[in-house]
Amino acid sequence: MSPGADHFARTSASSGTTEELRRSNLARILTLIHRGGALSRAELTRLTGLNRSTIGGLVAELRELGLAFETMPGSGEGNRAGRPSPVVHPSQSVVAIAVNPEVDAIHIGLVALGGRVLKRIRLETEAAPTSREVVEMTRAAIAGLVAGSEQELTIVGIGLAVPGLVRRSDGQVRIADHLDWIDEPLTEMMSAATGHRSVAANAAQLGMRAESLFGAGRGVDDLVYLIGGASGIGGGVVMGGHLLTGADGYAAEFGHTFVTSNGADCTCGSQGCLEAEVTQSELLDAVGLSTAQAELLAGLLEASDDPAVAALVARDVALVRVAVRNAVNLFNPRLIIVGGFLTALFPTGDGLAAEALTTPREELTVALAELGADQLLIGAGELVFSQLLLDPASSMGVELPLVAM
């Protein structure tokens, strides 16, 4: 796959009019530098097959829209004729606000084009935040996030990564068990309170989207992603280059797959679900850590010589393997990406798929998530940027909420 290949954006059909073709080429160039990083005009010419003057015109338009800027390469990086080809970068002043409510905190970040997290904050909450609290705390945090930036920022929207079932059609949060939310019109509330277009999706699916586009899953068309966090275990599946959403957006709930008989009660009403059996809090408690110290978990589990800790880890490892066995046997992925606290159970990824059928395991690789704590914010930002990438000119024309610095 090319560096800018897009698993998720819809391909805009072109009926061949000049205007449609120009819009579609503009989207293509912006997508290439957003997903693939800075590229020279010469590389853009090669990757798109468009001629130099067309590329020049499209880049000029992206610059005028504030979506790209150019630098001259250092010496020795010129093209064959010896003339240096300007390097086109995605703008760092066009940003999305990314929000991830968790059971004990709200994570809010400023994500620039190119998937770069410029700033992130963690606002602790006494208990699981209500949707109203998430909206109010985000609204209050935006000014602080954009303050102090060297350049004027353009906020193109707010992306919400929600640990729960989010309806694909309108972003309605149908159920978020761990937050105790039922049927919350979160995007509607957020848009009304902030004036910014807001979009929401399941947090784990967004984490996968980030890893797939910018992290461990780049260029892989068939992958399964599993992430463990304070709010349980989630996942996502990409098959044949397409995100598996299911009919309404609720697919790939690995946390609620059945892993053991006579198991613990789950928040979903069933028993023996993976996320009822394997929890971050139990592992943190075992080594005396708080949720805010979760990044220390892997090291302390490894260093521990407490037999009770070893027994808990062995039990959790076995249960995660059951879920992964089911995933591999169902989906035949080329790659499994593991993220969050699950990496503390499988520090190298070894043994994760040990119980799956032999044949689909032959070409299977296991990788740890690369984007760390930023992955949900990058995924939430991508939810906003994917709309912009479809039609950059009209997106920037329709919504230009410039924030005074």
Helical (H) or strand (E) element with 113: none
Residue-by-residue DSSP string for 226-250: EEEETTEEEEEEEETTEE--TTTS-
Closer by beta carbon to Zn ion, 148 or else 269: 269
- Where does this chain bind Zn ion (CB under 5 A)? 256, 266, 268, 270, 273
Beta carbon of residue 268, minimum distance to Zn ion (angstroms, whole number): 3
Beta carbon of residue 250, minimum distance to Zn ion (angstroms, whole number): 13
Beta carbon of residue 293, minimum distance to Zn ion (angstroms, whole number): 27
Closer by beta carbon to Zn ion, 211 or else 275: 275
Strand locations in 16-73 (E): 39-40, 68-71
- Residue whose structure tokens are 């059909």: 13
Beta carbon of residue 161, minimum distance to Zn ion (angstroms, whole number): 20
Beta carbon of residue 330, minimum distance to Zn ion (angstroms, whole number): 18
Beta carbon of residue 258, minimum distance to Zn ion (angstroms, whole number): 9
Q: How far apart are CA 158 and CA 99, in angstroms?
A: 7
Beta carbon of residue 265, minimum distance to Zn ion (angstroms, whole number): 9
Closer by beta carbon to Zn ion, 342 or else 367: 342
Closer by beta carbon to Zn ion, 266 or else 319: 266
Closer by beta carbon to Zn ion, 155 or else 203: 203
Closer by beta carbon to Zn ion, 222 or else 277: 277
Per residue, the 3-state secondary structure of 352-371, as one string, reads: CCCCCCHHHHCCCEEEECCC
Q: How far apart are CA 7 and CA 393, in angstroms?
A: 22
Closer by beta carbon to Zn ion, 160 or else 233: 233
Contact 31, 113 (CB under 8 A): no
Q: How far apart are CA 335 and CA 190, in angstroms?
A: 36
Contact 134, 189 (CB under 8 A): no
For the chain, give the number of residues: 405
Q: What distances in angstroms separate CA 73 from CA 32, 63, 222, one per listed residue?
A: 18, 17, 36
Closer by beta carbon to Zn ion, 108 or else 266: 266
Q: What distances in angstroms separate CA 82 from CA 85, 87, 318, 373, one per listed residue?
A: 9, 15, 60, 43
Contact 97, 65 (CB under 8 A): no
Q: How far apart are CA 157 and CA 164, in angstroms?
A: 21
Beta carbon of residue 228, minimum distance to Zn ion (angstroms, whole number): 14
